[in-house]
Structure formats: C-alpha cells, structure tokens
Amino acid sequence: MQRLETEFEAGMQPMEVWHQAKLHYIGLLIDHHQPELAETFFNSVTTKILHRTYFHNDFIFVRPAVSTEYIENDEPGATPTYRSYYPTRETLRENIERIVHNFRLALPFEDLRRDTANVLDAVEARLGDTRLRANFRVQVLSSLFYRNKGAYVVGKIINGFGELPFAWPILHTKEGALFIDACLFGEDELQMLFSFARAYFMVDMEIPSAYVQFLRSLMPRKPRAEIYNALGLAKQGKTLFYRDFLQHLRHSSDKFRIAPGIKGMVMLVFDLPSFPYVFKLIKDHYPPQKDTTREQIQGKYLLVKQHDRVGRMADTLEYSEVAFDRSRFGDELLDEIRKFAPSQLEIGDRDGDGQEEVVIKHLYIERRMIPLNIYLQEAFDAGAREQIERAVLEYGNAIKDLVAANIFPGDMLWKNFGVTRNGKVVFYDYDEIEYLTDCNFRKIPAPRNEEEEMSGEVWYKVGPRDVFPESFEPFLLGNPAVREVFMKHHADLLDPAFWQSRKERIQAGHVHDVFPYEREKRFARQPRDEVEHA
C-alpha cells in the first residue's frame, strides 16, 4: 500500500484508473487456485486508500468476480482435495487402515489394529443392517485438521441418497505414540467440532474453496463465513459475512434496536431482530468501578481472538467505518449511541444523493445467543427444573473450561454468558478477563473486631488483581433453585483453593486438554491417558 501511495500518488489518481486496475486484477485470477482470497486481499489494500463512497463493485469486490466452483490442481502429482475409497462390508476395516496410512504420519501408532477395530465397530453400529448400495463409498479430505494437541480426520460415508459426516480425533500418548480417540458422527457433532467458540484449525490447503464446499456438504446449516474462519482464513470469513449481511439488509425491512437484556457498562449492544448476530461498540465513558480504556478493551478482544477459546468464548468479527442506511435506525438507538459513544457515530449524506447514512467507526459483531440470565428467568417462570439444572451445570463447566485455558473471566454474572442453539453456555463479555496466572486468589480475612465485622465497607487491603471467590456467592446464588444445583456440582468455584491449585498447575507447565466431544465418546484403550473433555 505504501508503494502504491508513493509511486503512483494513489490518492490523486482518477477513479477510471482504479476501475481499470480492478479489471486487470480480475484477469490475473483466471487460473488462480485461491481467487476468493486474492479478491479479499485487493479489497484490504484499496479500502485503505479510497474513500468509503467508492466502496462499491466498480472499484472493490463487493461481489466475487471469479467462480470458485470446481477449481482443482491439475498439475502432475498434485494432492486431490479429497480421496475416495470403495470398501465392501468385508474390506471396511482394511480401508479404514488405508485411510490412516495415506496421511503418512511420522510418529508410530500405539496400536493401529486396535484403533481401526474401534472405528470399525463405531461405523458398523451406525450402519446397522442397512444395505450397502452400489454407490457406497467413503470420502476423506486429504489434509488433517490440527488444533491444540489433536489432529482430525474429516470425511463422510455415502450410501444411496444418505451421507453420514464423520471425524476421527488422533491424539498422542505421553510416550509420543498416536491413537484414534473417538469417532464423531453427524452434523451436530461436527458443528461442535467447528464451533465459533473454538480456536481455529491449521489445515494445509491448496484450494480452500474446495475444502469449504466439502465441509458445507457435512454441515449445510453452517455459514461459509464461519467455515472460512474455522480454517484460519479470518479475512475471507469477514468478507463473506459482510456480503451475507448486505444481502440480508436488501431483503429485510426491520430496524436495528437496542439489544434485549441488561445493558453493559462498557459495551453498547444493538441488533437486528431478523439477523442472528449482535453489534457491539465500546462506549466513550465508563463508571468509576470500570478502570479501563478503549485500548485496553480492544486488547482483551484481541487476546480472545488469539487464545484457545475451548468452546466457551464466542468469536468476534471486527470492522471499522461500517455504513448503514439511516432509515434502518430508530431514534431511540441513535440517541443511545449519541449519549454513550458519540465518538463512534457519524451521520451524513451518502454520495450527495440526499440519502442519509449512519457510520459506526469501530464495531464488533458476534453470534447472537440467549443471555443466560434471561434463559434462567424463562425457566423459573415455566417451572422447568431440568432446564435450570442443565443451565447451572453448564455455567460452572464453562468457567472450569476457561480456567483450564488459563482464563479468569472477571465478571462472572449470569448476564455475561449466553446459551447457544445446542445448549452450550458460552462467555461473551471480555472487558475484565485476565490470565488466571496473573490473578491472586485470596480468602476473605476474618474480622478482627466487632467494628470490622459490622462495617459496610471493605476493611482489608485489596490489590489490583486480588480475587475473593467467596464473594461470588451473593451475586450468583440468590435464587434457591440455582443455589441448590450450584452447590451440588460447583461449590469448589467459591473456594480460593480451587483457583489457586489450577493456577499452580498451569505455572508448573501442565497444559489441560479440552476436546470438543464428550468423555463417553472415547474409545476404551489400555493404558488410558487422563484427558479432560468439554
């Protein structure tokens, strides 16, 4: 970009030059294996130079110009996107072993025959007595999906008109040998594996669009933008998300509103009822108890972006200079933004055509969830005791998974957690998170005299990162039904010793493993390593 600005006086060139530059660039993409990523790169450069009034398809790739359908690497010896296997009932086991061998892993397996037998049992249990049709085959993506200490084989079984997605997590023992830990089946289990609340995969892909197309066949309800994000291509994920958003705006008429729920002290949140995401902007001023700055808050969101989210922290998309049609904003929402974040708001005439637009200077966008406090209140109103128990159990598990990832959530109130479509509890308020190892967990000192005991103020010294877990109780456990479940399953969260022991284990170099499937999914093996599961 700097070279463009210096050598070509980028800001002084007539717009026809920029239009011709885009057309020439399109010509370079004809035989490109990753044209969608190249288009996003073009947008990243030009949007930093051009004024936003030129952010339309004549000058940037608002719409894709080159199709990503059926792109293949036709060079001799090139690895295909996926491999197909054609087993019979009798040869299914040897084909499972062949699938594993084709990845050419350098480390030996602890007992590959045992593992393939476990996979075979799981596959046969799913197939049951189903007749194998003439087209019966197994398709497997050619690259493994790496995340944390695991690598995942991802594919699908095709039989007649049915397709069964699957994934096999490959882990390693303490001695360095490999083993297949489980066999995951179906769209829901793969959705958990590729969840927006988990860290991105590392995948060696020659043609990303082909991988995305294959994964969409396994998870048709998952937006392509989220799949690109899960594959570590966040820029492309942002591009596709914004295209989907613009398309939604064209085909909807409802207005943005202040998001339901308890208002935050640091973030102003609004949403569009017909769109399953929320929009968050940082306020200009905070109450005295929030000792923070805009830069610090942005740093917390970046920390979450780069950290292992262990299925418990929602991914965010970050945008700048986002323009909306003024007619989609109600006066109440605009007044709220003017009051709490005036520096982030600009309202003006778009292109001098008399149409007003609202521009938000800096914005985070997250998947919309049901706030946990609202979810619990609905359960209280309906007398749904099972729903209450499941939510409270999940809440405590979410905190413990965050602890395993060296994250202290800071503000643990119910309103800062949400419930996903699959019933998982996910944390989404990041302005107070800290590394667990940076916190000092203390027991509340006993009062030394009657005056201290009766004092309404904190009479003992508190450091900037001191945490008193006993103090969580009054804020979290006011409802007797909630208290009963919490004390049954998660009373240890009120004990400083729990937090301190986890902190010391992390400081000693212990790395907890939290995998995206239940412990019951694991295959039996001897010896059995201790592995924690979400």
Active site residues: 315
> What are residue 185's DSSP bridge partners?
166
CB 212 within 8 A of CB 240: no
> 200, 201, 419: which is closest to 316 by C-alpha?
200
> 452, 374, 445, 451: which is closest to 414 by C-alpha?
374
Q: Which long-range contacts (CB under 8 A, 24 or more apart) does 232-238 make?
A: 232/200, 232/201, 232/202, 232/203, 233/37, 233/208, 234/200, 235/37, 235/40, 235/41, 235/44, 236/36, 236/37, 236/40, 236/208, 237/317, 238/317, 238/319
Q: Which residues contact 498 (CB under 8 A, 6 or more apart)?
A: 469, 492
SS3 sequence, 478-502?
CCHHHHHHHHHHCHHHHCHHHHHHH
CB 57 within 8 A of CB 63: yes
CA contacts within 13 A on the Cβ side of 289: 5
SS3 sequence, 396-462?
HHHHHHHHHCCEECCCCCHHHEEECCCCCEEECCCCCCEEHHHCEECCCCCCCCHHHHHCCCCCCCC
> Read out DSSP for 52-113?
GGG-STTTS-SS-SS--TT----STTPPPSEEEE---TTTHHHHHHHHHHTT--SSPBS-HH
One-letter amino acid for residue 166 of the chain: F
Q: Which residues contact 197 (CB under 8 A, 6 or more apart)?
A: 309, 310, 311, 312, 313, 314, 315, 420, 424, 426
Residue 529 carries which DSSP code? P
> 398, 474, 404, 467: which is closest to 438 by C-alpha?
467
> 251, 228, 248: which is closest to 238 by C-alpha?
228
Helix (H, G, I), strand (E, B) or coil at 258: strand
- In the β-sheet with 425-427, what is the strand arrangement from edge to edge? 370-371, 417-419, 425-427
Cα(370)–Cα(352) distance, integer angstroms = 40
